[in-house]
Copies of this chain bind each other. A is one copy, B any other.
């Protein structure tokens, strides 16, 4: 199983454990060109609905293409949920960092790069994302 898929499944399972209804998108591209996040999760009880784009890396920063960025935003606007980038820097830490689109700064070409340091500053951890407990100091 490719590592990205394993990480995606790990996040899906975690959301499920915390009471979310979760659906993962097919791994393959499919025939259509609909914008499509990696994971949708929702909880009526928590009043939280998310569309996730999952990005993992063994490097020091994560690249998000312009297309990937806008597809997630488009989907979320239409659906009516939060757009969230779920990041995992595998060399540096074991936990997920969640970034809102508004916290990403585009390059001149309109793509996005985010370092672990920025992600730790701007991101949320899992409990903040789902609205549980106090904000955890990440750095």
Contacts and interface: CB of A to CB of B under 8 A. Distances in A.
A75 B45 CA distance: 13
Contacts of A31: 9
Interface size class of A (residues with CB under 8 A): 20 to 34
Contact of A24 (B22, B26, B44): B26
Contact of A44 (B20, B25, B80): B80
A34 to B, nearest CB: 5
The interface centre, meaning the residue of A23, A44, A81 with most chain B CB atoms within 10 A of its CB, is A23
Interface stretch (A11-19, A61-69, A115-123): A11-19
A49 B49 CA distance: 11
A22 to B, nearest CB: 6
State the number of copies, please: 2
Given A44-B78, A79-B44, A81-B42, A24 B20 contact: no
Contacts of A49: 79-80
Interface in A102-137: none
Contact of A42 (B21, B24, B44, B80): B80
28 contacts: A9-B30, A9-B32, A12-B32, A12-B34, A19-B78, A20-B78, A21-B51, A21-B75, A21-B76, A21-B78, A21-B79, A23-B25, A23-B36, A23-B40, A24-B25, A24-B26, A25-B26, A26-B26, A26-B27, A42-B79, A42-B81, A43-B78, A43-B79, A44-B77, A44-B78, A45-B78, A49-B79, A49-B80
